[in-house]
Amino acid sequence: MASEPTELTAYEGEATIEKVASLGRRRGFVYPSSDIYGGLGSAYDYGHYGVLLKDNVKGAWKRSMIQEREDMVALDSAVILNPEVWIASGHVGGFSDPLVDCRTCKLRFRADHLETSSCGKRPSKRPGESPDCDLTEARSFNLMFETHIGAVADSASAAYLRPETAQGIFINFKNVTSSLRVKPPFGIAQIGKSFRNEITPGNFLFRMREFEQMEMEYFVPPAEAEEWYRYWIAERYRWYTGLGIRTSHLRIRAHDPDELSHYSSGTSDIEYLFPIGWSELEGIANRGDFDLRAHTERSGQKLEWIGHEERYVPYVIEPAAGADRAALAFLVDAYDEEEIEGRPRTVLRLHPRIAPVKAAVLPLVGNDAALVEKARGLFEDLRTHMTTEYDDSAAIGKRYRRQDEIGTPWALTIDHESLNDGQVTLRDRDTLQQERIAIEGVRALLLDRLEAPWSPRL
């Protein structure tokens, strides 16, 4: 699926990474980490709404990858594995980026990203472009974080924080096939933290040194690998669009042969058009039998499929996504600013399933006991089924604005009329339309809408 000829070249919309980061901080989604100590470069802490949002991203991934399938099992492997794992996988020898240092501005750049980097002294120039730049030759720099196990920090105790979750899956191939009812084609899916000592982290959640991955390894008979590779590219693309990402800002880019990793016979990236340009959201690779063979060789344990009449080393198709990067794409895609009746409004038009809070219950005024009681009753009922907020703290307009900024799709306002007619006003975040509905029917209606198809703004 090559890119369309009419493909966009620049992000369309009101978002910039800075605006999204600033809203994130102001509204309790994401804070710079270690803030009171001056921060720690490109590390972030998720606040209340950020936790809910990222949980929804991971929940949607687990639902489509595991719950709605019969050919998938889950795994949660350790972060620190036997260091042999990383020797076998090739990470100890080869998980590195080529780097250059600038002796003038003392910054370090990825040699393969010079075109898109900025000189430390003259940010409008590329490193090496201005006469003052003094770049070293490119050197290789291993991205794995090293640590030590036990009390003594010597070379015998050295270990690594995992730079990807995938290897935890390969080393459990035997455990899984001998304990669960699986048969190729089948997959093992896992979500977890990964750590990379990135040289040029940045752009908010896009590239951090500690981040969360959502990876799945799909084991198939070798002859079917190409077909499943195509299948997973389409399936993963569908996942993003199904959750509202604009198709105009999403593309599939096949790697050129000289870009392919040593193990891969085909890789395609799903890319999103961020305000910083087209960038990888997820990679889907046909890894062949590289990993199972590498671990068989190093561990001496045969990692193969043994059926009734067959025995082979499966090929592996790997869709590898980032939970933080996906969360950023959802936020950027949803961010909008507009003017309503002469007043500015910032709104996150998140898919309802991704939105941190689904419904807000608001008594029209907060100091009327009857309204409060009615509203609290609805709130208590709703919150056992979906994340709901109750708010009676300010003027109604201010409360709506706050819910718009955190992306709550539905606001339910209880007014004096509600006490007589048992109805509530349902305000839609995107259309701003208001409809009167029976309080009794609210829960069922919202549960229905949560499952209904939802389209992003055009």
Which uninterrupted H or E stretch holds 211? strand 210-220
Q: How far is the CB of 441 from ligand ATP (least distance, A)?
A: 40
Nearer to ligand ATP, 20 or 424 (CB): 20
Q: Per CB under 6 A, which region of 54-62, 81-89, 238-246, 314-322 contacts ligand ATP?
A: 314-322
Q: 3-class DSSP state for residue 335?
A: strand
Give 282 or 391: the residue with its C-beta nearer to ligand ATP. 282
Q: Which residues pair with 211 in a beta bridge?
A: 194
Choice from 110, 162, 325, 353 touching ligand ATP (CB under 6 A): 325
Contacts of 403 (CB under 8 A, 6+ apart): 357, 360, 389, 391, 411, 429
Q: In this structure, which amino acid lies at residue 415?
A: D
The one-letter amino acid at 228: W
Q: State which residue, 321 or 396, has the beta carbon closest to ligand ATP.
A: 321
Enumerate residues 165-184 that contact ligand ATP by CB under 6 A: none
Stretch that binds ligand ATP, among 14-22, 49-57, 185-193, 281-289 (CB under 6 A): 281-289
Number of helices (H) and strands (E) in the chain: give both, helices first: 13, 23
- 381 near ligand ATP (CB under 6 A): no
How far is the C-alpha of 134 from the C-alpha of 239, rounded, in Å?
A: 46
The least CB distance from residue 198 to ligand ATP, in Å, is 5
When asked if residue 332 is in the footprint of ligand ATP (CB under 6 A), the reply is no
C-alpha to C-alpha distance for 43 and 67, rounded to whole angstroms: 32
Closest residue to ligand ATP, judged by C-beta, is 322
Count of residues near ligand ATP by CB under 6 A: 16
Containing H/E element for 285? strand 277-288
How does strand 359-363 pair with strand 410-414?
A: parallel
The DSSP symbol for 144 reads P
Rule CB under 6 A: is residue 320 a binding residue for ligand ATP?
yes
From the CB of 288, what's the least distance to ligand ATP, in Å?
16
Contacts for 249 with CB less than 8 Å, ≥ 6 apart: 8, 11, 12, 272, 273, 333
Judged by CB under 6 A, which stretch of 46-54, 67-75, 101-109, 278-286 contacts ligand ATP? 278-286
Site string for ligand ATP, 17-56 (x = CB under 6 A): ----------------------------------------
Q: Name the one range near ligand ATP by CB under 6 A: 81-89, 207-215, 245-253, 433-441.
A: 207-215
**From the CA atom positions of the chain, what is the Rg in Å?**
25
CA distance 101 to 108: 4
Among 91, 110, 162, 196, binds ligand ATP (CB under 6 A): 196
Residue 286 makes contact with ligand ATP by CB under 6 A: no
Which DSSP symbol is given to 113? G
Please state the closest distance from residue 242 (CB atom) to ligand ATP, in A.
Answer: 18
- Does the protein bind ligand ATP through residue 324 (CB under 6 A)? yes
The Cα–Cα gap between 375 and 369 comes to 10
Judged by CB under 6 A, does residue 224 bind ligand ATP? no
Report d(CA 345, CA 193) in Å as an integer. 35
Minimum CB distance to ligand ATP smaller for 324 or for 415: 324
Q: Which of 91, 207, 251, 287 binds ligand ATP (CB under 6 A)?
A: 207
Q: Which of 280, 336, 381, 430 binds ligand ATP (CB under 6 A)?
A: 280
Of the ranges 60-68, 205-213, 358-366, 368-376, which one interacts with ligand ATP (CB under 6 A)? 205-213
Closest CB 58 distance from ligand ATP, rounded Å: 13
Q: Are strands 343-348 and 359-363 parallel, antiparallel or unpaired?
A: unpaired
Binding flags for ligand ATP, 121-160, as an x/- string (CB under 6 A)? ----------------------------------------
Minimum distance from residue 327 beta carbon to ligand ATP (Å): 10
Can residue 208 be called a binding residue for ligand ATP (CB under 6 A)?
yes
Spatial neighbors of 435 by CB under 8 A, at least 6 apart, are 425, 426
- Rule CB under 6 A: say whether 287 interacts with ligand ATP: no
Q: Which amino acid belongs to residue 400?
A: Y
Instruction: Give the integer Cα–Cα distance in Å for 412 and 173.
Output: 49
> What residues have CB less than 8 Å from 198, skipping those under 6 apart?
42, 143, 207, 208, 209
Cβ proximity of 408 and 350 under 8 Å: no
With residue 389 as reference, give the H or E element that holds it: strand 388-390
Residues near ligand ATP (CB under 6 A): 164, 196, 198, 207-208, 211, 213, 280-283, 320-322, 324-325
